[in-house]
Structure 1
Amino acid sequence: MMVEAATPRPRYALIDMGRGIALIAMVIYHAFWDLSYLRFFSVDVSADLGWVIFARTILASFLFLVGVGLVLSHGKAIRWRTFWKRLAILVAAAALITFATVMVFPDAFVYFGILHAIALFSLMALPFLRAPLWLVVVVALVIMALGWGYSDPFFNERAFSWLGFWTIPPLTNDLVPIFPWFGVVLGAIVTTRLLIASGRMATLDVVKASNPPKRALAKLGRWTLVIYLVHQPLLLGALYPLSLVLRPGAEFQQQQFLSQCQSTCLAGGTGPDQCTTYCQCGLTGVIDNDLWDGVNSGRPTPSEQAALNTITQACSALIYPVAPK
């Protein structure tokens, strides 16, 4: 049976700096997400392809580093006291995120975000720290293949969406499902174990925190959880009052409406010219009927919803006219 390791885990500046870089990238993404949410930035960060790729790259980086850290900390023998202490901190932090987002975003609160995933994945990864490498590789590939290749409407329900097989993304501000993302942690475990087995871990120690920028990155990487917990309250705490004072102008609001409408329309398979006509029609209807409150809140009143439905039908008729009888 594995016992508590007597020797401390090795610390590599390169890994700490990697966490620091991922952390800076995450803060940049969330800053622009906030700007988009508060309508200072016309691009829908949560849907734009470039921003989505950026966000998933950041997520993959964090999860890969989780796998690396697990091998370095517990690869020879699981340090149970350290493991349970960190897991308890992660679970408490994840619960705090859920509570806070229920208060701020009740319709899109975070119920299985990055911290929830790291806590669960850390526990799930323990058997793979010493399992045969071929088995870890096979499981990682199967998890990633299923995550990217299988879906079923059954998993659209919130209760099952954390597995990752939905056909329609659930309404939440952060979701990191087991499939395919646990496969990234396993991939990191395989990579790190191969480096250790080949005697090449020393190559990671070549990079030192030898100058102020590198030392700053390494220090950031050692405070990842704390910075993750405080950065969004600080960002929103600064930007939200600013939005109340400056209030994004009508032109910006209209541009954002058209951009989001065009993206949704094109994703539905309608041609670009038809989408332009449809969205311009919709914008005119929203302006003429003063429906911005219902559009911006995402929760229109029954009368606003009825007006929006009428506009949608009228604009749809422009691009899909009913054939005369």
Structure 2
Amino acid sequence: MHGHGRLLGIDLARGIALLAMAVYHGAWDASHLGLTSVDVVNDPGWRLFARAIAASFLLLVGFSLVLAHGSRIRWQAFLRRLAVIVAAAAAITIVTFFAFPQSYIFFGILHCIALSSLLALPFLRLPPAVAAAAGIAVVAAPGLVASPLFDLPALAFVGLGTQVPVSNDYVPLFPWFGPVLLGMAAGRLAVDRNLTAWLQTSRTPGLAGRLIAWTGRHSLAFYLVHQPVLFGLMFLAAHALGITRQPSVAAGFVPQCRASCEQTGVAAAACKRYCTCADAAIRQERIDLADASADTRGRVTAIVNRCRTGARQ
């Protein structure tokens, strides 16, 4: 154990995932501000990197649930943690709604972690094989099951619709609840077979290890703070270098649309077709994506749905 009964290995793994996330967001900021010519949002390597980071976080969520509540659910600690995550997720929704009204984050990684943590509780008492099988089914479901019912805005968080919502960070339950269940299965196997010793250490880690572990212990605070800090630093660097090119709101639509679409498992070709179609229509109709009015939102939604239908044909 490491400090207050924590496992150093888990803190280090979470800290490494957070640092990897910071690398991705730093690259995204540099691309967005014109500091690099690399299209981070659409580059296959960077997209794979981003998905791997999200999967690692969710695997750790499931593994940590078993470590924290394997013998019995500590309801006070669980509900306190859940309330903090829900509040942070709500804050992100509110902030991004005003910053990016047409692509705000209504169900991102924190939303997914909060709901997945709640839905995962029954699996704490089930054999690891059940959690693993359920996890595989959840990951596979978007490619096998789809229904217009889940296209309703109130059900978009499920991830089983025939249309993909436009959002800067869309992490629906299907397929992303799957890694949480797989992490639980791995955690239960590790606990049942006394394989958690490798997560413990009696040696004091070096400075780098301590910093990474500290980051892992304060993961939510790091998540909320790192991007504003990184973006601010990149913004200052761009102006110091005389790079003042700022992509318009419309210019960022296609990358954001494609990233959200492909994250749900839709084929890249189909995502490219419908996002390019929507972008062309938005430009042709001279729609200002910074306008948060109900009329503008309705026009954009109609365009996106029309193009999605055409892309599937």
TM-score, normalization by structure 2: 0.74
CA distance in structure 2 between the aligned counterparts of 1:179 and 1:208, rounded to whole angstroms = 40
Native 8 Å contact 1:67 1:188 kept in 2:
yes
Which shifted more, 45-54 or 89-98? 45-54
> In structure 2, how many angstroms separate the alpha carbons of the residues matched to 1:303 and 1:197?
60
The counterpart of 1:27, out of the listed 5, 22, 25, is: 22
Q: CA RMSD in A?
A: 3.5
Flag the 1:148–1:15 CA change in 2: closer, same or farther, 3 A: farther
Deviation at 1:69, TM superposition (A): 1.1
- The within-5 A match list for 1:72-83 is 72-83=67-78
Contact 1:155–1:167 under 8 Å retained in 2? yes
Q: After TM superposition, what 4+ stretches of structure 1 lie above 6 angstroms from structure 2?
A: none
In structure 2, distance between residues paired with 1:116 and 1:45: 24
Q: Alpha-carbon deviations, 1:108-157, whole Å to 9, x = none?
A: 11000111111111111111111233322222221112134334455455
Report deviation, 1:93: 0.4
Structure 2 CA distance for partners of 1:243 and 1:164, relative to 1, 3 Å: same
Q: Which deviations, in whole Å up to 9, do the C-alpha atoms of 1:248-279 show, x marking residues without a partner? A: 569x99xx99x98xx9xx94799xxxxxxxxx
Whether 1:231 and 2:229 are equivalent positions in the alignment is no
- Quickly say closer, same or farther: Cα 1:247–1:235, change in 2 above 3 A: same
More contact order relative to length (CA 8 Å, sep ≥ 6): 2
Match for 1:159 among 154, 160, 185?
154
Residue aligning to 1:85: 80
Q: How many angstroms apart in 2 are the aligned matches of 1:151 and 1:16?
A: 37
For 2:41 and 2:150, how far apart are their aligned partners in 1?
A: 21
Q: Which has the larger radius of gyration?
A: 1
Instruction: Give per-residue Cα distances to partners, 1:288-313, cap 9 Å, x unaligned.
Output: xxxxxxx9xx96484699xxxxxxxx
Task: Answer yes or no: is the 8 Å Cα contact 2:64–2:187 preserved in 1.
Answer: no
Aligned equivalent of 2:89, options 86, 94, 110: 94
| 1:243-254 equivalence runs, <5 A | 243=238, 246-248=242-244
Report the AA paired with residue 115 of structure 1. L
Superposed displacement of residue 236, structure 1: 2.5
141-150 or 93-102: which moved more?
141-150
CA shift digits 1:22-71 (9 cap, x unpaired): 00111111112122223333333222211111001000111011111111
TM-score in terms of structure 1 length: 0.72
Residue segments in structure 2 that go unaligned for 5+ positions in a row? 259-267, 273-278, 289-313
